[in-house]
A = this chain, B = another copy of it.
């Protein structure tokens, strides 16, 4: 598509622009490694690149800036990036001492991504759509309140406080838990079934309250979104208006979810500017990758930053973290 020299010039422009955030002139490019022609020749080539839509001039007598198409070519022709040793070590350390609570780990993973790339990190945990009930337990908290704890097959735990008759007591709570586990085990979270009577009216009441709590809050646990490093967004842009728009987007969890979900089965993927499908993100790029649990697509991680982000670094970080995270989550 582009001959070797044009590609080298384009690459030089992108790299320089990512570095300096200033339009790049022919002089700088002529001095760049891999380009051994004069600035005049570079000018001619850049004019062609602009005509073809890879570059753009902010105004007549300025240097060139990459267009989305230019960035796209750049990332498509990147040789597989490797993570810097320091960063690789950081990732290793992180997962070596990762904690037990999954949510906390995902939240910290978003911060890890942010630290590795100096961008905003995003982690979306899967919706608990097809989870099956693994066990249920009822624990009394006070005379009239108890906690229903349900463990699902994906390892998540749901809890609901329920009211119980004052005379119920610990034993009936325990009995109710056993009964629920027995009959609901393997049943889909969203379709609890009737549980036969235990013969004891108080126990039955606890059971029915529990089932009511489960059915009453149908899709109670949608995708969770963890965003880490929003302050880095403010550092990435000079225009405060842009910062406002992007932060606004990041706060609407469902928007973030839909942003990342479309992409889940593309593997490691980069969306640049309008490719994200969101107007306010026109000046942003998104690098995402899915992560797996037990070999199944579970959720998505990614980083969001300005279109002039460090793509090699971002790609390497997202790839490595998604890989490690998958390992960590499947082995337990």
Contacts and interface: CB of A to CB of B under 8 A. Distances in A.
B332 A145 contact: yes
A99 interface: yes
This protein's copies in its complex: 2
A157 interface: yes
Q: Which of A100, A141, A243 has the most CB of B within 10 A?
A: A100
A135 B170 CA distance: 11
Interface in A112-128: none
B135 A155 contact: no
Contacts of A134: 139, 141
A221 interface: yes
A187 interface: no
Contact of A158 (B101, B153, B229, B243): B101
Contacts of A137: 135, 137, 149, 151
B247 A217 contact: no
A220 B247 CA distance: 30
A250 B331 CA distance: 33
A161 B99 CA distance: 10
A92 B69 CA distance: 50
Contacts of A194: none
A100 B163 contact: no
A230 B99 CA distance: 27
Given A100-B217, A101-B159, A240-B243, 19 more contacts: A99-B217, A100-B161, A100-B213, A101-B160, A134-B139, A134-B141, A135-B139, A137-B149, A141-B155, A142-B332, A147-B155, A149-B157, A151-B159, A162-B332, A228-B251, A230-B230, A231-B250, A234-B244, A237-B240
